Chain A
Amino acid sequence: MLNRLVRWARKKSPWILHLNSGACNACDIEVVAALTPRFDVERLGVLLKATPRHADVIVATGPVTRQIKDRIIRIYEQTPDPKFVVAVGACAMSGCVYRGAYNSLGGLDQVIPVTAYVPGCPARPDAILDGIVKLLGTL
């Protein structure tokens, strides 16, 4: 009963953490654009949180640089279970143009487990929204 209630609550109001792992900022401004009046994800209960301890979904962008790797793992460990990771953009999926650069690890799934991928360089705000909604559909 309680589990069902929690699952319902989580589905209706996923709190997200925006995590940049060395992205070029394009996906990040699109994540923020999704919060502003045109797309307005808050009407769906999605709330951007500042700390991983409050978040259900980590929305991560970027190809993961060497220096940021440990911090990403730490943030992932700080997020309470059950947690989901959405890799936004081509960089977080596979490294995009940075693939082969000496300081980039080429994708988020090299470091932490990823639940959903949103393609695009950068991914559009509606695509990001669609990715999160599809993720919630699997709950």
Chain B
Amino acid sequence: MKFNIPIGPQHPALKEPISLRMTVEGEVIRDADLRLGYNHRGMEKLAEEKNWTQNIYLVERICGICSHSHATCYVQGVEKLMEIEPPKRGLYIRYLVSELERVHSHLLWLGVAGHEAGFDSFFMYTWRDREVVMDLLEMISGNRVHYAMNTLGGVRRDLDEIQIKKILDGLVVLRQRTEYYFKIGASEPTFVGRLAGVGYLSKEKAIALCACGPTARASGITADVRKDDPQAVYDEVPFDVCTADSCDVLGRTVVRIKELMESYKICEFLLRNLPAGDIAVKAPKKAKPNEVVSRYEAPRGENIHYIRSNGTERPERLKVRAPTLANYPATIEMLKNGFIADIPLIFAAIDPCICCAERTVELVNARSGEETVVRFGDLRKLAGERFAKSPVKRNAVWPF
């Protein structure tokens, strides 16, 4: 039986929405194929027509969940090209917003994972708590999603004492809630059993297929740009790289919950050690002819921007490699030998958005060539039914 999944045209979580075509034998996936290009808007070309400052707002709109990541990655690179050094306070505020963004992105992902595993109250819980961090971000930047905090040579908004206190209070609430989620994992054998063993990606395969971010870290690879190639403030901040050895969706969940705790720690450190001074320096209009590669650890993995300047007000080339693109080959590997019913969960594990949950899946019978169209909702129902029949994996434990 052959399998065809058009997750493409309306796929909002990824910069490049994709279509997956699967080859299945019975219920087991044997091969998967990718098709790209539905959400292609031509942003890299557009960037060549805009000046350095305008491009900050363009790259911010590459993705709505990690908007600050793209803007920061771009700004880091352009600052190197222009040879300007942002003041310490500006950098602290910039990376504070980065970490808060990671918190909102991971909470969002946890909700999606819960939803796909059939644990909808978990989804509602995490999204309710996500509003706490959204409020903090709105207070800092004035907008819930596109923060527009970055500017060339620093940030655009300063923090005052009242705001710092409010953020610290918010972090206390978030930390309590995250500890609660960690406990849920330990006390809900069905949740752990549903996630354990799904979407296996061995360490060797993860390295060979260049997986990045939490997907790689869940396979036991200690790779984090914040540690390996510390930008600006990360060499001063104490934090650990979170990894898991289980190589499955459970590991990816645990890594993200642990990363939440690390992010709270980083945020608190940045707030308590916020240096005094300016938040930005004036940036020149033009950059000398040069090229730069900028790396940044986005919530989903390593984000790379390649920028080339030719001495004018505009970049000559801007190339963006988003972390999701790096995780596609690994996703195909994870899907292989999995079950049709696990597709939503495996696919969610590389961190696409909730909106991709309601797609159509086309099942093609290879022998008869007959096609049936199944909605993603039905697929989830199928997953629930299959899981209800299968014995709970009693040996699966929540790794403390």
Contact = CB atoms under 8 A, between A and B. Distances in A.
B57 interface: yes
B205 interface: no
Given A50-B377, A65-B38, A97-B58, A29 B46 contact: no
B324 to A, nearest CB: 11
Interface range for A = 35 or more
Given A38-B131, A50-B375, A103 B145 contact: no
A65 B42 CA distance: 9
B45 A101 contact: yes
Contacts of A71: 9-10
A129 to B, nearest CB: 14
A68 interface: yes
B49 interface: yes
A26 B39 contact: no
Interface in A25-45: 25-33, 36-38
Interface string A66-89: 011001000000000000000000
Contacts, number: 124
Interface stretch (A2-10, A16-24, A107-115, A131-139): A16-24
Interface in B309-358: 353-355, 358
B38 A67 contact: yes
Contacts of B123: 36
A22 B127 contact: no
B354 A32 contact: yes
Nearest to A61: B12
A25 B12 contact: yes
B392 interface: no
A33 B127 CA distance: 7
Contacts of B61: 24, 26, 96-98, 121
Interface stretch (B63-71, B194-202, B243-251): B63-71
B312 to A, nearest CB: 19
B26 interface: no
A30 B12 CA distance: 12
A25 B64 contact: yes
A21 B42 contact: no
10 smallest beta-carbon distances between A and B, as pairs: A26-B64, A25-B64, A36-B127, A50-B358, A101-B42, A103-B42, A28-B12, A37-B128, A20-B12, A26-B145
Given A25-B355, A51-B375, A67-B40, 5 more contacts: A26-B61, A31-B355, A50-B375, A68-B10, A122-B146
Interface of B: 9-13, 37-43, 45-46, 49, 57-58, 61-65, 67, 108, 111, 123-124, 127-128, 130-131, 134, 144-146, 353-355, 358, 375-377
